[in-house]
Structure 1
């Protein structure tokens, strides 16, 4: 998601932080005053929660392009599939998330009890086993490798708290209720002559 957002920033006129104004974009303010080391979206440095946000320089550059291009730039011209009320952390299980971090390893898990989950950093880990034998006696050793990755939005990070843009403290989202349906008009029915059928109930499941 970070790479997609970073490249989207470029499309909208944002340079890497701490860059000169672009000569090919009229009135481009550049981003010299926003330091690369601060680690916002338009930097490769991991600035923690800031890595989920644009610096004020990037926002100023994007604003300049949108104003210059006019309404045609921000008018929605096509439709896209949306899943209202659902976010990546609701759809991707932590272990599956970590499997993508170590795709060629077995026994990959996410340690959701790691203290750094409070910083919205997922500890992805895998174990490797080795057997060492001396004079007919063998012992099995386990070595665990791990790395930390930014949690997806709405991954759980504490007691009924979720991560939102790298900050633990958001509340779990309940999908919006469906609009109430008008009550059906009941008609008097002759149950003596009615057919006997099973009733099918629709059950709403929340992921």
Structure 2
């Protein structure tokens, strides 16, 4: 959705933030005063919640084009089907969302108990297992690889709230009855089998 919104901004006249006025658009104000590093939609920098919003420079550029083009620019002619009141986070399960982040990996989950869900950042992760045995003693090593992705609108973010444009708040919702937990949050356990001793070791690695 971010890429679609970014490109839609270009179509409506918004330049990348911190850009000179465009000579081919009459009265284009440019966006020099809005710094690229601030991380709004028209920047590639991830500014957190700001990355879900246009800077005031982008809004000014879009307003200029819409006023210049007149009513034909904003009249809705699309007759496509829409689902009023439904948002991506209502339709896409967290684990399915994370599976798209790591499409070629197994054991992919979304850690909905991660503290960063309060920032509307989903912790997507997958676990890889390996076992090493010496003289009847075996150790199972678990490496959990993870990354953070911006939550979809209306994804649950704790305290019966949802994410809206990168902010945890929105209206209250009924939370999932069994939120997904990370493999890394499970407690370490010892395993025994036929006299062989097993230990499980866990490591988390951010990608």
SS state of the match for residue 145, structure 1?
strand
SS state of the match for residue 95, structure 2?
helix
Q: Where do 1:11-160 residues align within 5 Å?
A: 11-135=11-135, 137-160=137-160
TM-score by length of 1: 0.82
Q: Is the 8 A contact 2:190 2:200 kept in 1?
A: no
Kindly tell me: are residues 90 and 187 of structure 1, through their superposed partners in 2, closer, same or farther at Cα, counting changes over 3 Å? closer
Q: Report the Cα distance in structure 2 between the residues aligned to 1:140 and 1:181, rounded to whole angstroms.
A: 20
Q: How far has the Cα of 1:138 moved from its partner? A: 3.0
Q: Is the 8 A contact 2:130 2:141 kept in 1?
A: yes
Q: For residues 95-143 of structure 1, what are the alpha-carbon distances to aligned partners after superposition, in whole Å with 9 as ceiling and x for unaligned?
A: 0000000000000000000000000000001000112233454321000
Q: Report the Cα distance in structure 2 between the residues aligned to 1:54 and 1:132, rounded to whole angstroms.
A: 52
Return 30-39 or 127-136, whichever deviates more: 127-136
Q: Is the 8 A contact 2:125 2:145 kept in 1?
A: yes
Q: Report the Cα distance in structure 2 between the residues aligned to 1:98 and 1:39, rounded to whole angstroms.
A: 23
Kindly tell me: are residues 197 and 139 of structure 1, through their superposed partners in 2, closer, same or farther at Cα, counting changes over 3 Å? closer
Q: How far has the Cα of 1:60 moved from its partner? A: 0.3
Relative to total residues, which structure has the larger strand share, 1 or 2?
2
Q: Report the Cα distance in structure 1 between the residues aligned to 2:99 and 2:81, rounded to whole angstroms.
A: 26
The structure with higher relative contact order (CA 8 Å, sep 6+) is 2
Q: How far has the Cα of 1:78 moved from its partner? A: 2.3
SS state of the match for residue 50, structure 2?
helix
Q: How far has the Cα of 1:146 moved from its partner? A: 0.3
Q: Is the 8 A contact 2:139 2:198 kept in 1?
A: no
Kindly tell me: are residues 184 and 23 of structure 1, through their superposed partners in 2, closer, same or farther at Cα, counting changes over 3 Å? closer
* Structure 1 gap segments, 5+ residues each: none
Q: Is the 8 A contact 1:14 1:59 kept in 2?
A: yes
Q: What is the number of equivalent residue pairs in this alignment?
A: 207
Q: How far has the Cα of 1:196 moved from its partner? A: 69
Q: For residues 151-181 of structure 1, what are the alpha-carbon distances to aligned partners after superposition, in whole Å with 9 as ceiling and x for unaligned?
A: 0000010121000000001114799999999
